């Protein structure tokens, strides 16, 4: 048996592409943490794996808005 646990932390940040002082303020995105887990079992030449992404069902956003030109 083999187990693995990974944790990703992303700090607070601003989202957008404002390049001019006249641009509106950038949206603020909150910090978040995501935990993933996997359990593996090897049997001869076969590996069985069971994994769970976002184990604690964390709600987060990677983008606040999108603008096309």
pTM over 0.75: no
Q: Which one, of 37, 45, 46, 42, lies nearest residue 5 by Cα? A: 37
Per the CB < 8 A criterion, the answer to whether 14 and 30 are in contact is no
Residue 16 makes CB contacts below 8 A (sequence gap 6+) with 23, 26, 27, 64, 65
What is the distance between the alpha carbons of residues 69 and 64, in angstroms, rounded to a whole number?
A: 17
For 37-63, write each residue's pLDDT tens digit. Answer: 999 999 999 999 999 999 999 999 888
With residue 51 as reference, give the H or E element that holds it. strand 46-52
């Amino acid at each position: 048996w083999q187990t693995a646990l990974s944790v990703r932390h992303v700090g607070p940040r601003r989202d957008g592409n404002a390049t001019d002082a006249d641009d509106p303020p950038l949206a603020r995105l909150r910090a978040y943490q995501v935990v993933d887990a996997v359990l593996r079992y090897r049997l001869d030449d076969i590996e069985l794996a069971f994994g769970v992404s976002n184990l604690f069902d964390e709600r987060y956003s990677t983008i606040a808005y999108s603008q096309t030109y």
